């Protein structure tokens, strides 16, 4: 690691193969916490390159415990986190609403590092037991239209750095990697990023792959459609800037999507919304994200049609039923 660190401190970049190897060594726990923290800090201080991100991703995918869910045409709905906005669990709620429409969801997630509550914190608080057994995950998809893949169960490298990431309590390049390394390799992706540069890197990487994807970066810094302002939307067909008004929505204030100060606070907000009792702002944010997810899976589906489908899922309590089924199975 000293050789790698000295190279990085000299403002050099890693080749794709070097990036792959150093992540494999991290997974093998060859480095101490100080080296790991130093290594991660480099990529907080300067942009990561496409080769570095691709190399890290290749290592994680090669080492991952994989599951085959290809029969189900799943979508993953996930953000990088690290946007510092401390919203409620928008992507997780969106996932349940999408599942409530009948669309299969393979949600990849983890505990929070830089905010109050990640998707794993939320599901664990509701009594969900993490698993990497393919048979169980398939059963979840069959019965609840959704399964959850807790990253440390599938990625030894993420597990190897979990304590260092938690101690840093800052976004690192692992935030960038998470949405790109779903171990079930879903056919559809809705990805949110905390900055525009990462969105462009994702677009560059995913353009070369045979998947449907939509990448979202809110221009005011959110890693999801926040309705607090316009957002950039990338697909394999191009990119565009979309405002809430373009979607027939009103702009909202940041305070309207605040996630609370603890996992308990976040869980209370989550429960209120999935019970159909959220505020207009909370509901419209998750419904807009969910509608976009459906249009990513089916490019011919108009946003307005998708919006009506996800409204029926949320207010018909189908999303709530998917959560109850998932926790109960």
42 and 118 in a single domain? The answer is no
Q: What is the DSSP letter of 208?
A: T
Query: Is residue 197 pLDDT above 70, yes or no?
Result: yes
Q: Which of 63, 82, 115 is the last residue of a domain?
A: 63
**Whole-number Å distance between alpha carbons of 124 and 148:** 11
Are 305 and 216 within one domain? yes
Same structural domain, 22 and 152? no
Mean of pLDDT values over 26-40: 93
Q: Are 136 and 45 in the same domain?
A: no
For residue 245, what are its two tokens? 């008004």
pLDDT for position 165: 85
Domain of residue 40, residue span: 2-63
Cα(106)–Cα(152) distance, integer angstroms? 15
Are 56 and 174 contained in the same domain? Answer: no
* Residue 36: partners with Cβ closer than 8 Å, 6 or more residues away: 26, 161, 164
Classify 250 in phi/psi space as left (phi over 0), alpha (psi -120 to 50) or beta.
Answer: beta
Residue 68 maps to a domain:
no
Q: So what's the pLDDT on residue 58?
A: 96
Model confidence at 137, in pLDDT bands (50, 70, 90)? very high
Q: What is the pLDDT of residues 89-136, one digit of tens each?
A: 999 999 999 999 999 999 999 887 656 678 999 999 999 999 999 999
Residues 232 and 208 grouped into a single domain: yes
Closest CA to 181 of 109, 126, 119: 109
Alpha-carbon distance 165 to 115, whole Å? 12
How confident is the model at residue 114, as a pLDDT? 57
| pTM of the predicted model as reported, rounded to 2 decimal places | 0.94
In a domain, 16, yes or no: yes
Q: Of 109, 195, 205, which is closest to residue 158 (Cα–Cα)?
A: 109
Task: Please determine, for residue 2, whether its predicted confidence score (pLDDT) is greater than 80.
Answer: yes
CATH number for position 167: 3.40.1030.10
Residues 79 and 153 in one domain: yes
- Separation between Cα atoms, residue 217 and residue 232, nearest integer Å: 5
Q: For residues 80 and 178, state if they share a domain.
A: yes
> Which of 40-49, 111-120, 153-162 is modeled with the greatest confidence?
40-49
| pLDDT above 80 (res 82) | no
Q: How many Å apart are CA 310 and CA 273, to the nearest integer?
A: 13
Radius of gyration of the chain (CA): 19
Task: Write down the pLDDT at residue 175.
Answer: 84
Q: How confident is the model at residue 160 (pLDDT cuts 50, 70, 90)?
A: confident
Query: Which CATH number covers residue 32?
Result: 1.20.970.10
Number of domains in the chain: 2
User: How much of the chain exceeds pLDDT 70, in percent?
Assistant: 98
Smallest CA-to-CA distance from 199 within 172, 222, 181 is with 222
Mean pLDDT of 143-158: 92
Q: Say if residue 109 is in the same domain as residue 141.
A: yes
At 156 the pLDDT is 80
Name the helix (H) or strand (E) containing 198: helix 196-206
List, for residues 58-70, the tens digit of each pLDDT value. Answer: 999 999 999 999 9
pLDDT at 328: 87
SS3 content of the chain, % helix, strand, coil (to 5): 55, 10, 35
Per-residue model confidence as pLDDT tens digits over 290-315:
999 999 999 999 999 999 999 999 99
Nearest CA to 203 out of 165, 233, 244, 171 is that of 233
């Amino acid at each position: 690691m000293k050789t790698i660190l000295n190279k990085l401190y000299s403002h050099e970049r890693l080749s794709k193969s070097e990036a792959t190897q150093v992540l494999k060594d991290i997974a093998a726990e060859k480095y101490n916490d100080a080296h790991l923290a130093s290594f991660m800090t480099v990529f907080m201080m300067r942009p990561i390159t496409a080769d570095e991100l691709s190399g890290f991703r290749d290592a994680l995918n090669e080492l991952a415990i994989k599951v085959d869910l290809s029969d189900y045409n799943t979508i993953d709905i996930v953000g990088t986190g690290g946007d510092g906005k401390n919203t409620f669990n928008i992507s997780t709620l969106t996932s349940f609403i999408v599942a409530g429409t009948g669309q299969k969801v393979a949600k990849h997630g983890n505990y929070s590092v830089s905010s109050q509550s990640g998707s794993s914190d939320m599901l664990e608080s509701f009594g969900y037991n993490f698993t990497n057994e393919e048979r169980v995950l398939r059963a979840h998809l069959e019965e609840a239209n959704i399964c959850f893949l807790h990253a440390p169960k599938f990625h030894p490298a993420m597990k190897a750095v979990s304590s260092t990431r938690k101690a840093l309590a800052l976004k690192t390049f692992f935030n960038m990697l998470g949405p790109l390394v779903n171990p079930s390799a879903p056919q559809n992706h809705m990805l949110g990023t905390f900055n525009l540069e990462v969105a462009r890197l994702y677009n560059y990487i995913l353009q070369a792959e045979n998947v449907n994807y939509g990448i979202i970066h809110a221009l005011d810094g959110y890693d999801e459609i926040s309705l607090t302002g316009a957002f950039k939307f990338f697909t394999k067909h191009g990119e565009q800037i979309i405002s809430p008004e373009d979607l027939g929505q009103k702009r909202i204030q940041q305070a309207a999507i605040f996630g609370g100060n603890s996992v308990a606070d976040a869980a209370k907000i989550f429960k209120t919304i999935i019970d159909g009792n959220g505020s207009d702002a909370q509901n419209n944010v998750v419904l807009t994200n969910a509608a976009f997810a459906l249009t990513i899976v089916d490019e011919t589906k108009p946003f307005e049609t998708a919006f009506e489908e996800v409204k029926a899922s949320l207010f018909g309590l189908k999303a709530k039923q998917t959560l109850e089924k998932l926790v109960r199975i």
